[in-house]
Amino acid sequence: MSVREPVHLEARRGDVAEIALVAGDPGRVERLSKLLREPKLVSSSRGFPVYTGYVGDKRVTIAAHGIGGPSALIVFEELSALGARVIVRLGTCGSLHPEASIGDVVVASGAGSLCLASGLGLYMKFKPICPPASPHPELAWRLYRSLSEKLKDRKVHLAPVFTSDSFYAETPGLAEELASYGFKVVEMEVAPLLALSWLRGFKAAAVLIVSDSLVGGVSRIEKGELERAEVEVGAEVLRVLVETGV
């Protein structure tokens, strides 16, 4: 099953590479695009920049997907329809557990959510069936192994994440409850990406930087530190994707 011709992204077939790195924040995409050789802006529709360039001799696309499942799903659908065969989310997350500290990195081993009708944009695709919200196993393992080896100053976790549609409903009390179920962090777009990947037949994974903590109150990473982490982690993720291939 494939979607109709994309109507939200301005890019056309041939503009999008088989390997795509995606992020919610357009500013993060702008910063990550500097890691590409000969980056070309192939779409800026709706404030979502999409760049295609090279890492070594491999073409790579870096795209923004906005906040929340419904927005992100449109971008994932259209990137897939335009030729992306691997899509990895490089995002941020909030810690639910003392083991995950601000500045740590989490490779998602799977994603949970409250329900399909909770605003993630999945209900019309799967109806009452719970979708397989798990990453491509080999891709996730390669990312975890490489990041663990290369990011000497950061702790890297391979753990389940919780995908939420209600940022301001995430309280320390909720964090305690979710942690008791085994979730390490909370974020907003991983479950839709992973579920869609099995439906559309592309490989997907998610790498998250812990930018907030809901443990013992609410705390947040410093802006400059987050931007440095984005580029550091993004460069290594791109290296793995290019070496791994499609």
Q: Beta-strand (E) ranges in 48-155?
A: 50-55, 58-64, 86-95, 105-112
How confident is the model at residue 146, as a pLDDT? Answer: 97
CB atoms within 10 A of CB 58: 16
Phi/psi class of residue 48: alpha, beta or left (left: φ > 0; alpha: ψ in -120 to 50)? beta
Spatial distance between the Cα atoms of 38 and 207, rounded to a whole number of angstroms: 25
Q: With beta carbons less than 8 A apart as the criterion, state whether 188 and 69 touch.
A: yes
Helix (H) or strand (E) holding 209: strand 203-213
Residues pairing with 213 in the sheet:
95, 219
Token readout for 191 is: 């479950």
- pTM of the model as a whole: 0.93
Measure the CA angle with vertex 25, ends 61 and 19; round to 5°: 15
Spatial distance between the Cα atoms of 217 and 31, rounded to a whole number of angstroms: 30
Contacts of 101 (CB under 8 A, 6+ apart): 95, 155, 210, 213
What value does the mean pLDDT of the chain take? Answer: 92
How confident is the model at residue 120, as a pLDDT? Answer: 72
How confident is the model at residue 4, as a pLDDT? Answer: 67
Output Rg (C-alpha) for the chain, integer angstroms. Answer: 17
Residue with structure tokens 């971008």?
Answer: 75
Which regions in the chain score pLDDT beneath 70? 1-4, 115-119, 121, 123-124, 127
All structural domains of the chain, each given as residue ranges with its CATH number in brackets, are: 19-244 (3.40.50.1580)
pLDDT tens for 46-103 read: 999 999 999 999 999 999 999 998 999 999 999 999 999 999 999 999 999 999 999 9
Spatial distance between the Cα atoms of 116 and 192, rounded to a whole number of angstroms: 10
Residue type, 22: V
Please state at what angle helix 69-81 crosses helix 190-200, rounded to 10 degrees. 30
Backbone φ and ψ of 228, nearest 5°: -65, -40
How confident is the model at residue 1, as a pLDDT? Answer: 46
